[in-house]
A = this chain, B = another copy of it.
Amino acid sequence: MSKTTLSDVARRAGVSTMTVSRVLNGRGGASPETSDRIRQAAEELAYRPNAVARALKSDRSGIIGVVVPDISNPFFPEIIRGAESVAMRHGYNLLLCNVIESADREIDVLRVLETQRVDGVILCSARLPEKPLLQALKQYKAAVVINRSVPSAAAGCINIDYRQGAYEATRHLWDSGRRRIGIVAGPETSHGAAQRLEGVRSFFASVGGRELGIAHCTPDVAGGQTASLQLLEAHPDLDGLVCYNDLNAIGALKSCGRAGRAVPGAVSIIGFDGIPLGELVTPPLSTIYVDKYSIGQLGMRMLLDRLGGKFTQQSILIRPELLARESSRSV
């Protein structure tokens, strides 16, 4: 239990606290020998500056709040790592909050972060309605939201071009000869899901085709399994599945396996996100790859810029990329 304070160090070095503060913060203002004496005293006493006191004085806590829906979803740890790598370089730390996919908890958590006087907030996939969200964002010195659009005065935004991604995904299946394509569409309430559907439909419009069927589901493996099974039963001639995310696609892979429909022999499957897991299933999953680590980095950079009063980038749209693997090979 270190309780050494600045004045302990000052006493030991025979100077005032102010001098110690200046020296230890590298703001010069002391003779070399005094400085040495101070540094040595600090070392001997294992002095650690009290960030709490400093935060109170300076109104800067050095802490960034990061809110994610569910840290067990492999999509988010990558974002967190990217954000942390940038934060660390700038002397910031992350206060992490899981909101377990619940809007109520999201409010609670944002209130706690306010209380903790975090310097800024990165909010991933907020489920909050527009009004309370904007209200909450106003309370922070700076904020960045990921997977959601808000006015740039309220927060910086990083969005993924889901529409474009889903367009590419559908075209990819079409180009590999599939014509009877079903959609595993993710949560009905998800904003990203709606954008993906737009992309799908926009592609079909361009070739004068149409999807075979759509099934909504939870954004996990189980959901994908159920939804794809539904589609397979309703449309025995189905030969392609465009999925909301990779977890859904992996569920679809399982369903096809159980239903005796070979992938990619009989059914071609493509996911979305590009989680590491996709490479490890059999067959390896084709996907629309999103660079999550970069998103985390960009988000944190944007946040720190905003904290520093720089508003160069207000909104970034991430262009995902087709990553064709085995599950969508032409046959």
Interface residue ranges, A against B (CB under 8 Å): 1-2, 46, 48-53, 55-56, 61-63, 71-72, 74, 77-78, 80-81, 84, 93-98, 111-112, 114-117, 138-141, 221, 250, 253-254, 276-277, 280-282
Q: Are B49 and A115 in contact (CB under 8 A)?
A: yes
Q: Which residue of B lies closest to A65 (CB)?
A: B93
A74 surroundings in chain B (CB, below 8 A): 72, 74
A253 surroundings in chain B (CB, below 8 A): 280
A-B contacts, 6 of them at CB < 8 A, read A52-B117, A72-B78, A94-B95, A253-B280, A281-B281, A281-B282
Q: Are B77 and A81 in contact (CB under 8 A)?
A: no
A51 surroundings in chain B (CB, below 8 A): 115-117
Smallest Cβ distance from A7 to chain B, in angstroms?
15
Q: Are B48 and A111 in contact (CB under 8 A)?
A: yes
Interface residue SS majority, chain A: mixed
Would A94 and B93 be within 8 Å (CB), given that A72-B81, A276-B221, A280-B254 are in contact?
no
A112 to B77, CA, bound (A): 21
A52 to B50, CA, bound (A): 11
A250 surroundings in chain B (CB, below 8 A): 280
A96 surroundings in chain B (CB, below 8 A): 80, 84, 94-96
Give 13 new A-B contacts, CB below 8 A, not counting A48-B139, A94-B95.
Answer: A50-B117, A52-B52, A56-B56, A71-B77, A72-B276, A74-B74, A84-B98, A93-B112, A93-B116, A95-B95, A96-B96, A250-B280, A280-B280
Q: Which residue of B lies closest to A91 (CB)?
A: B112
Closest 4 CB pairs of A and B: A282-B282, A96-B96, A71-B77, A51-B115
A280 surroundings in chain B (CB, below 8 A): 221, 250, 253-254, 277, 280-281
A114 to B48, CA, bound (A): 7
A98 surroundings in chain B (CB, below 8 A): 80-81, 84
A84 surroundings in chain B (CB, below 8 A): 96-98
A1 surroundings in chain B (CB, below 8 A): 138-141
A94 surroundings in chain B (CB, below 8 A): 95-97
Q: Are B55 and A52 in contact (CB under 8 A)?
A: yes
Smallest Cβ distance from A257 to chain B, in angstroms?
9
A71 surroundings in chain B (CB, below 8 A): 71, 77, 80-81
Would A115 and B50 be within 8 Å (CB), given that A78-B72, A96-B96, A139-B1 are in contact?
yes
A310 to B2, CA, bound (A): 21
A140 surroundings in chain B (CB, below 8 A): 1
Among A2, A49, A56, A280, max chain B CB count under 10 A is at A280
